[in-house]
Amino acid sequence: MIRTTSLVIALVSCLTLPGYSLAQSGDVRIFNTVKLKLANGEPVIGGTVDTADPAIYCAMANAGFDFLWIEMQHSPLSYSQVADMIWACRGAPAIPFIRIPAATEGDLQKATDIGALGIIVPMVDAVEEVETAVTYAKYPPIGKRSQGGGQYRALWGNDYRQAANDNIMIVAMIEQPEGVEIIEQVVNTPGIDGIFVASSDLGSFTGRPQGDPQYEALVTRVKEQTQAAGLFVGGPLAWLESREGYLFFQGPSAGALIRTGTRVTLESADLCRYLPSGATPVPGEDPCP
């Protein structure tokens, strides 16, 4: 089954918003719905997948997420496993994004060949890393991605080669003070779409918690420089309601979602399950035994 998105062709060229712009050339088909939503100023949320079970991947891909953050930096997932997961749910609404282990030619070409439309580059502390990401995730004349084997055409259509450069997105993660120091160069690297502020790692590397003036100064610098360059800025899902200007969010992992779903199910079956004896689950009703 070939994924098609017929609602977007020429209209995409007029979509712009403060902080992110969508380049569109001619009649190139845009099938990356995340890119379209961001260009229209809509926030996007991705669930985090770190298990190789296609059933879990498919459940998350069809649950309402805009994209899936496939975790290959901090998991033992192989490209063969991820290829099977993406193929199992070809046509699902959630777009596959891969956080690659590192910005290497091999990682980038494998990730794009198996069908990822988003590349998340971790631990960026050198401009060369994002330049490499663009070079090997994009076909000529922009980059040096070669035409190898893969399932990308079966997933996204026979015009994939012509449309890939306009659909594949590059997101750079800023996790360390060294990354903040070069943020102006990173955001002005041609081919970069957005920046993700890794909140917990930034705190880990600086020894500063959220709310600390030095921590907040780093976050503010990244956000302001990213938006000034016309790119979107992302962060953890907790920032959706607490901070303005962020559009791209990493959501919970499969394990966290299973725990939450289990708790909700058990609470629905037994309102007293998580309450102490004597508490009243509903005002006016009998207290918990």
Give the least confident one: 24-33, 150-159, 215-224.
24-33
Q: Is residue 279 part of a domain?
A: no
pLDDT, position 206:
95
pLDDT, position 14:
34
pLDDT tens digits, one per residue of 178-225: 999 999 999 999 999 999 999 999 999 999 999 999 999 999 999 999
pLDDT, position 268:
87
For residues 148-168, give the mean pLDDT: 95
As a whole number of angstroms, the distance between CA 104 and CA 108 comes to 6
Do 140 and 164 touch, CB atoms closer than 8 A? no
Kindly tell me if the per-residue pLDDT of 125 is higher than 60.
Answer: yes
As a whole number of angstroms, the distance between CA 118 and CA 16 comes to 20
- Which CATH number belongs to the domain containing residue 97 in this structure? 3.20.20.60
Q: Is residue 3 part of a domain?
A: no
The number of angstroms, rounded, from the C-alpha of 209 to the middle of its chain's C-alpha atoms is: 24
Q: Is residue 172 part of a domain?
A: yes
Domain carrying residue 165 = 10-269
Nearest in space to 143 (alpha carbons), one of 179, 122, 112, 173: 112
DSSP H or E stretch at residue 194 = strand 194-197
pLDDT, position 26:
60
Q: Is residue 274 part of a domain?
A: no
As a whole number of angstroms, the distance between CA 116 and CA 155 comes to 10
As a whole number of angstroms, the distance between CA 79 and CA 72 comes to 9
Q: Is residue 122 part of a domain?
A: yes
Taking each helix axis as running N to C, give the angle between helix 105-113 and helix 127-137, from 0 to 180 degrees, rounded to the nearest 10: 40
Q: Which two tokens stand for residue 65?
A: 């997420």
Nearest in space to 71 (alpha carbons), one of 63, 60, 62: 60
Kindly tell me if the per-residue pLDDT of 60 is higher than 80.
Answer: yes
Q: What is the mean pLDDT of the chain?
A: 91
Q: Is residue 281 part of a domain?
A: no
Q: Is residue 275 part of a domain?
A: no
Q: Which two tokens stand for residue 142?
A: 């922009």
Kindly tell me if the per-residue pLDDT of 19 is higher than 70.
Answer: no
Q: How far is CA 52 from CA 19, 22, 57, 76, 77, in A?
A: 35, 33, 8, 9, 6
Q: Considering its fold, how many domains does the chain have in total?
A: 1
**Beta partners for residue 126, in sequence order:** none
Q: Residue 153 carries which side chain, given as an amino acid letter?
A: R
Helices (H), 96-212: 105-113, 127-137, 152-156, 160-167, 177-181, 183-187, 199-206
pLDDT tens digits, one per residue of 244-287: 999 999 999 999 999 999 999 988 889 998 899 989 888 888 89
Q: Residue 135 carries which side chain, given as an amino acid letter?
A: T
| pTM of the full structure | 0.87
Q: Is residue 222 part of a domain?
A: yes
Nearest in space to 107 (alpha carbons), one of 97, 119, 117: 119
